[in-house]
Every structure is written in structure tokens, then in C-alpha cells.
Structure 1
Amino acid sequence: MTPIYASSRNQKFDSWQFIQALPKERIRKIHLAGHSDYGHYLIDTHDQQITGPVWDLYAWAIEHLGPRATLIKRDEIFPPLDESLSELGNARTVAAKTPETAACV
């Protein structure tokens, strides 16, 4: 979700419409990661916490797409274990809100 979110902000397109236009059956895995915000643009750096808008996009995508494998990515700057577990808990909470996904969590 982070690459879509960052690209949509940088290139000024609607991330929701972008996801809706993709063939559902082709989406097998969702990547979540943090990004760096430089004001006028975002970079998908994988070194920050996942932000609220990315979580919102993930929630909508899971509702729209149904169950999907999800990978939380971190590169170089690894958070303490409790922060990683918190992000994992967030992903599980989002997934559990969709009935067909809840069985996969």
C-alpha cells in the first residue's frame, strides 16, 4: 500500500481508484511500510512507522479485495520488537474486520 500511497501523493492521482482498476485476482500480496515525508513529496523508504493514511488504504483494500497475504517491510532502521509487534497487531485488527479475512488472521 505504501508505494501506491506515496505515488498517489507525488503524482496526484486517487489511490482508491487505482486499486479498484486493478484485477482483483492478480493481487496476491500487500506490502505495508513507512515512508519519509519531505513536504512536497514522499519516498517509500521502509524505515518509518506505517502512517494513518496507509493503514486506511490497507483497510479499504482488504475490504475491497478480500483476504491477501500481507508483508510489513522495514529496511535499515529496525524498530524495537514491541513497535514491530504493534504494527503486526494493527494489520491483524484491520484484517479481522472483514468477515472472510478474519478466518485467516
Structure 2
Amino acid sequence: MFDLGIAKLHVGDLSPHWQGVAKNLDPEVVMVWVVFFEGKVYGVYLSVTAAAKAVAKIEADLAAGRKPQPQSATKVLLEKKSKEAELKKNGSSDSTPKP
């Protein structure tokens, strides 16, 4: 048996490390979904869907006898830069034009 859960928290309630991870996801973020495992934060996510996927990954790792790995700040930053590059490559933009 293990302790695993999700909670929605204000970014200011997180440690400086996890605040940095959250700000890497979105500099304007105020609330994030936090995944806890064995009493520790294992990741912060912008959507409950992403947090649920992280929980499912932790469960799969445990079922396979692997030790779950916490979310990496470096990986978050690399994924963000990759998405930005893909949008730029496709000529797309996250922002919608203002009238």
C-alpha cells in the first residue's frame, strides 16, 4: 500500500523548487494540480488531466516493480521549448488576435 493523491494548490504554497517548475509551465500560473506520493510532491501540472496521467504512470511503475521518478524541472523546460519550436515551425501561435 502507498500514499498517492492529487490536490489543487496555490503556487505560493509550494516550495521554491516546485514554484519554479510551475512557473516554467506557465509564468502567469496561480493554481496548479499537485501529485503527491509517499508524502512528497512528485509533480505539478496545469490540468487535472495531466496530473491524473502522472498518477497512472506512478501506478504503472509500481506495478512493474520500478521506482517512480518525480517530475524534472529540466524536462518541463525542455518540453515547453519543444512545443514553442513546433508552434513556430508550423506558423501557429498560442495567442489569439485581439480586436
Return the TM-score normalized by structure 2. 0.26
The structure showing larger relative contact order (alpha-carbon pairs under 8 Å, at least 6 residues apart) is 1
More strand by share: 2
Larger radius of gyration: 2
